[in-house]
Amino acid sequence: MTSSVSKNIQISLLLVATLGVMSGITVVSSLPLISHTFAAIPHIEFLSKLMLTIPSIIIALFAPFAGHIVDKFGRLKPLYAGIILFILGGSSGFYLHDFYVILVGRAILGFGVALIMTSSTALVGDYFSEHARHKFMSKQGLAVGMGGILFITTGGLLAQMHWSYPFAIYLVPLLFLPFLLKSLYEPPKPTHLPEQELEAKLLPVYLTGFFVMVLFYMLPTQLPYLIVNTLGGKPQTVGFVIATAMTFNALTSMQYAKIKARLSYVQIYSATFLLFGLGLYLFSRAQSIAELFWATAPTGMAFGLLLVNTNAWFLSQVPPSKRGRASGLLTSSFFLGQFASPLLFQPIVAHFGIQGLFLLVSGFAVFISVVLFVKSR
* Residue among 155, 165, 120 nearest 20 (CA): 120
pLDDT at res. 3: 42
The tens digit of pLDDT for each residue in 190-241 reads: 665 545 556 667 888 899 989 988 988 788 778 878 888 888 777 678 778 8
CA–CA dist 330, 63 (Å, integer)? 8
pLDDT of residue 1: 40
Q: Which residues contact 354 (CB under 8 A, 6 or more apart)?
A: 222, 223, 225, 226, 230
Domains and CATH numbers, the chain: 3-181+218-376 (1.20.1250.20)
What are the tens digits of pLDDT across the range 88-108? 999 988 988 888 888 899 999
* CB contact at 8 A, 260 and 312: yes
Predicted pLDDT at 235: 67
Q: Could you tell me if 28 and 152 are in contact, meaning their C-beta atoms sit under 8 angstroms apart?
A: yes
255-300 pLDDT, tens digit per residue, is 888 888 888 899 999 999 999 999 999 999 988 888 888 988 999 8
Listed in sequence order, the residues at least 6 apart from 265 whose beta carbon sits closer than 8 Å to its beta carbon are 309, 312, 313
pLDDT value for 267 = 92
pLDDT, the chain, mean = 85
Could you tell me which residues come within 8 angstroms of residue 99 by beta carbon, excluding any fewer than 6 positions away? 34, 38, 41, 47
Among 16-25, 172-181, 205-214, the minimum mean pLDDT is found in 16-25
At residue 2, the 3 state secondary structure works out as coil
How far is it, in rounded angstroms, from Cα 77 to Cα 81? 6
Q: Which helix (H) or strand (E) holds 223?
A: helix 218-225
Amino acid letter at 167?
A: F
The pLDDT value given to residue 4: 38
Distance of CA 190 to the CA centre of its chain: 28
DSSP 6-60: HHHHHHHHHHHHHHHHHHHHTTGGGHHHHHHHTTTSTTHHHHHTHHHHHHHHHHH
**What does pTM read for this prediction?**
0.78
Least confident of 211-220, 319-328, 343-352, 356-365: 319-328
Cβ pair 304, 249 in contact under 8 A: yes
- Using 50, 70 and 90 to split pLDDT, how confident is the model at 5? very low
| Tens digit of each residue's pLDDT (9 = 90 or more) over 116-137 | 989 998 898 888 877 788 888 8
pLDDT value for 199 = 62
- What mean pLDDT do residues 27-39 have? 79
With bands split at pLDDT 50, 70 and 90, how would you rate the model's confidence at 83?
Answer: very high
For the residues 42-61, what does the mean pLDDT come to?
81
Cα–Cα distance, 377 to 375 (Å, whole number)? 5
Q: What is the per-residue pLDDT across 152-165, written as a single tens digit (0 to 9) for each?
A: 778 878 888 888 88
